[in-house]
Amino acid sequence: MLIWIVFILTYVFFAFLSVYSSNKLVRKLGVTLLILSAIYFTGFRDALGQDYHNYVRSIDYNLVLSFLEPMRAILSIIIKNTVFSYVLFFVFFATVTHFLFIRSSYFFMSSFVIILLYLFNSSLYGQSFNVVRQMFASSIFFFAFRYIVNSQKKKYLLSILLAMTSHFSSFILIPVYFYAKIQISTFFFILLYLLSLCYDFINSYIVIIISKILPLKYIGYLISYEKASFSYLILIYNILWLFCLLKRKEILKLKYGNAVFNLGFLSLFFYNISRANLIFQRLSLFFLIFLMIEFTFLAKIYRIKGDNRGLLINSLVVVVFFSIFVFSLINTPIEGLPTRILPLSSIFD
């Protein structure tokens, strides 16, 4: 637990410097140290989670030589045939993921709050490495958001193709380029939201339809009976999003408001229907950062009016997610928490 305390304090301090320092050089230094601290804490944690051992085993037995995900296969070959250890696998994904997520956060106005929410909601900071490749792909998608709002289709497509080299499910992000740009009526969003709440009743019919178009490797996940359990985190997502829905007209007037609202809703929608099938919760992770940004837009509406309620909303959102984050850590068995960070030399055998 001491490792977590040190990391959180370090992370928040560097994040604050990177945004609020009056010295440009200090801000740049804050960004660099923030990214490096995130990489070190994530990439050099010691063998946490079942998937960590699964990745190691797959490298040992050459189980990832797939044309569908060449990034993972190339890394495995390098590790298997050079002086590098398994740690390189996790350090590489942590480096790209944190660099793109943190650097892209400065693309938005409330970057300090977004960076904190990324810490408190990122699965990479959890108790395992179960989504290390998907977070890598998500970071590329987040970086590619600029290509959506700037109407650069080719660059966006190349970005998603790169994300697919690590996690093939990223192919679902290709049509998102067009979805993010269209204006959808509030009435239609309400219908989709209500559908997400009662999706459990029609899941079996939807599965039959989707299974006919999905690649074979994902059908096993789709027909799984594993469901996401109720959590206070999902409840809070829903409550905050409903407030955003009430203020949607004002959010759409903000820079990137329409795209962020559309993408944020996808995360909430997939979270809600994951009560019928856990695979949808994995899909929601692609868009989770935009749901967090949508919440900061709610505060921004008041801030541009000079209303102190904007600061109050941002503070409240951060405190709520920080409390859930800490509560989760406290209730995690001690064997699920990092007890040490590996030395830098561990990247070599």
> Stretch 98-118: mean pLDDT, rounded?
92
If one compares 237 and 56, the residue with the highest pLDDT of the two is 237
**Which pLDDT value is given to residue 257?**
95
Kindly indicate the confidence band of residue 104, based on its pLDDT and cuts at 50, 70 and 90.
very high
Given a cut of 60, whether residue 64 has pLDDT beyond it is no
Q: Is the pLDDT of residue 221 over 80?
A: no
Average pLDDT, the chain: 84
pLDDT tens-digit map of 157-166? 999 999 999 8
Q: What is the 3-state secondary structure (H, E, C) of 38-82?
A: HHHHHHCECCCCHHHHHHHHHHHCCCCCCCCCHHHHHHHHHHHHC
Kindly state the average pLDDT of the residues 193-200.
87
Mean pLDDT of 190-214: 75
Q: What is the CA radius of gyration of the chain?
A: 20
Q: Is the pLDDT of residue 43 over 90?
A: no
> Lowest mean pLDDT: which of 28-32, 115-119, 234-238, 274-278?
274-278
Lowest-confidence region among 133-147, 182-196, 333-347: 333-347
Using one digit for the tens of pLDDT, what is the confidence trace for 266-314? 999 999 988 777 778 888 999 999 999 999 999 999 888 888 888 899 9
Per-residue model confidence (pLDDT) at position 191 = 95
Is the pTM higher than 0.95? no
Decide which of 26 and 334 is more confident: 26
Supply the DSSP string of 112-180, one letter for each residue.
HHHHHHHHHH-GGGSSS-TTHHHHHHHHHHHHTHHHHHTT-HHHHHHHHHHHHTT-GGGGGGTTHHHHH
What's the rounded Cα separation, in Å, for the pair 132 and 37? 17
Percent residues over pLDDT 90 in the chain: 48
Most confident of 98-102, 221-225, 332-336: 98-102
Q: How confident is the model at residue 127 (pLDDT cuts 50, 70, 90)?
A: very low
3-state secondary structure of 215: coil
DSSP string, 236-263: HHHHHHHHHHHTHHHHHTSTTHHHHHHH
On whether the CB atoms of residues 113 and 62 are closer than 8 A, the answer is no
